Amino acid sequence: MEKIIEESKQGESLVLENKPENTKKLFIESYGCAMNFSDSEVVASILSDGGYNTTSVLEEADLVLVNTCSIRDKAEQTIRKRLEKYNAVKRTNPKMKVGVLGCMAERLKSQFLEEEKIVDLVVGPDAYKDLPNLLAEVEEGRDAINVILSKEETYGDISPVRLMSNGITALVSITRGCDNMCTFCVVPFTRGRERSREPQSIMAEIQDLWSKGYKEVTLLGQNVDSYLWYGGGLKKDFVNASEMQKATAVDFDQLLEMVAIGFPKMRIRFSTSNPQDMHESILHVMAKYPNICKHIHLPVQSGSNRILKEMNRLHSREEYMALIDKIRAIVPEASISQDMIAGFPTETEEDHQDTMSLMEYVKYNFGYMYSYSERPGTLAGRKMEDDVPEETKARRLQEIVDLQQKHAWFRSEEFVGKTVEVLVEKVSKKSEDEFSGRNSQSITVVFPKENYKIGDFVNVKITSCTSGTLKGEAVGYSEMN
């Protein structure tokens, strides 16, 4: 399950610099994972070339797009409410067109267009280049739909417009789709099979970001560790590649090293990792280069072997723990975060205790924890009864959250007295006199502003902490400046 972008950013309308020659107005909102937010930047770039400037005022928009998520039922309910709002505005502005993008579009295409008639266009995650044609169809008075999943599309040739950006950190998409077929997850059905983006286009995008003053990139994919470029095509077809293609293929540790060497004064992050694809070679690259951040998001979902099998996770509890041991040995300063699902079908109290004991073993720095909600179209949705009572799910989730809170305190306290490098990202929410940024381990650090500025790499001595934030005093610039 892809890490969900923080709650405060959900549904934020995205605005970028206007082109004076553009006459139409686009209102675009994103929900869900980092990949959706990255895709919205691609869409804005395509539509900017098609005559649209962005607006944050819904009522003045000619085109309203919502980039959607199907991971959790809550996300779908939120988007349905937004569509009701758009349609209320549309009644006073009948020229306005409403479109749904992304994963929910792929899943609910006929429902949105034909049964409920709440949108004019439906565009799946691989069809954004078709938007100008689809909008022409809508202008002619026809509903427009393209949810065909591609074997090739990676948007490597589109330079994304940075919508969510603070001008300091950016997301760079390196893979699309997923081959893992976890039984709880809709991603393989909404984003298609896994394919990787050409390495030179990734390097060119990062070069462009560097030239514009960005200081950190996150290499992004549903499963970055299985990145594999061999000239194009699906990952699963690599077995049929020529000897030359196999000999010149680029995998994730090679890509990571290329980026680290190519941009030594830029911080490199990556997300999301899948346990069965995180090879030791990746850890050695992380350990070797100081500009690769020492944080691994390593979803496990459950600590029970029986439930892991039901989920079709391609690793066991023991294999996961062995990987944790390897991370601790090779990259001892690394922080590790998790995704966890409480109350998966057939989960017993013993299974739940297995999850709790795994958490005790790892002591994660932070995590993303959910109670199971059945997603239509998934294998679990089709074949398994959602048989754990809601009150049991809620209690187990609360126990997981409470234990994670305890571990987060433990991990935060380990930093007190140490000096950490912080990339200054913004003014602190709580005080105008303090800056906020993250250290290499992706933990938020706040410190008094003094004469530093946003975009600086600053060494900060940690003096106190909460479970989620480190506090300290700046002691000078770091070598990354």
Closest CA to 133 of 117, 151, 121: 121
Residue 465 marked ligand-binding: no
Q: Packing angle between helix 131-139 and helix 34-48, nearest 10 degrees?
A: 70
**Distance from chain centroid for Cα 400:** 22
Give the DSSP H/E element, type plus range, for residue 104: helix 103-107
CB-neighbour burial class of residue 17 (10 A; exposed 0-12, middle 13-18, buried 19+) = exposed
Q: Are 185 and 266 in contact (CB under 8 A)?
A: no
CA torsion sign for 186, 7, 147, 96 is positive
Token couple for 296: 């691994």
Residue 293 marked ligand-binding: no
DSSP of 244-279: HHHHT-EEHHHHHHHHHHH-TTSEEEEE---GGG--
Q: Are 308 and 319 in contact (CB under 8 A)?
A: no
Residue with tokens 């994304």: 160
CB-neighbour burial class of residue 155 (10 A; exposed 0-12, middle 13-18, buried 19+) = buried
Q: Packing angle between helix 317-330 and helix 280-288, nearest 10 degrees?
A: 20
What's the rounded Cα separation, in Å, for the pair 14 and 57? Answer: 10
Pairing of strands 216-220, 169-173: parallel
**Distance from chain centroid for Cα 357:** 27
DSSP of 126-188: T-GGGHHHHHHHHHTT--EEE-PPPSS---TT------S--SSEEEEE-EES-----TT--HH
Give the DSSP H/E element, type plus range, for residue 336: strand 335-342
DSSP state at residue 62: S
Residue 185 marked ligand-binding: yes
Closest CA to 202 of 298, 128, 270: 270
Whole-number Cα distances in Å, 414 to 189, 441, 467: 42, 12, 11
Q: Are 214 and 457 in contact (CB under 8 A)?
A: no
Query: Which residue numbers belong to the known binding site?
Result: 33, 69, 103, 178, 182, 185
Query: Known binding site for [4Fe-4S] cluster: residues?
Result: 33, 69, 103, 178, 182, 185
